[in-house]
Amino acid sequence: MYSKIVILTFPREVAQKALVCQLTRKYDLLFNILSAKISNKKEGYMVLEISSVSRAAFNKGVNFLKEQGVSVSSPEHRIYKDEEICTHCGACTAVCPTEALYIKRPQMEVIFDQEKCSVCELCVVTCPTRAMGLFSAETQDVA
């Protein structure tokens, strides 16, 4: 299974069209909406995790979106966990919507799975020791 988090930016002309549902219908892709702000009167954005059986199927779906005028890019930031200052209090696990942060039992150790991270930044503002942070990565066009 191939899976990737992408940011879709919708121009005004296509904000009201049901394009994302076509990913499932036409291209057999699964998507999970991690964040969105769309208005039919102005442009909007969505952060999606898109999954497919192959990278080729993923690329076909992304190309469809681009043909419709949607900008598709990868997140420009990544989350990191500073293991040296983490106290494993678990506060971040309570706010993580994708379960990228979880407690390993019985050790009671906070584990960070970068692959599941949606870069929502909730852990960054929640962490009392500031062990969770952001680092910049260049925004890249997808596919």
* Domain stop point among 73, 91, 106: 73
Residue 142 lies in a domain: no
Domain CATH for 85 = 3.30.70.20
Task: List Cα–Cα distances, 112 to 4, 48, 78, 132, in angstroms.
Answer: 17, 20, 12, 10
Six-digit token pair at 136?
């910049």
Whether residue 49 sits in one domain with residue 86: no
Which amino acid, residue 82? D
In the block, residue with structure tokens 């497919």: 52
* Domain stop point among 57, 73, 89: 73
**Whole-number pLDDT of residue 46:** 86
- In tens, the pLDDT along 23-32 reads 999 999 999 8
Whether residue 7 sits in one domain with residue 67: yes
* Domain stop point among 49, 73, 97: 73
- In tens, the pLDDT along 15-55 reads 888 899 999 999 999 998 887 887 766 778 888 889 999 99
- In tens, the pLDDT along 65-98 reads 999 999 888 777 788 899 999 999 999 999 998 8
Residue 141 lies in a domain: no
In the block, residue with structure tokens 């469809």: 64
Whether residue 118 sits in one domain with residue 61: no
**Whole-number pLDDT of residue 5:** 82
Instruction: Domain count for the chain, please give it.
Output: 2
Whether residue 21 sits in one domain with residue 53: yes
| Distance separating alpha carbons of residues 63 and 26, to the nearest angstrom | 12
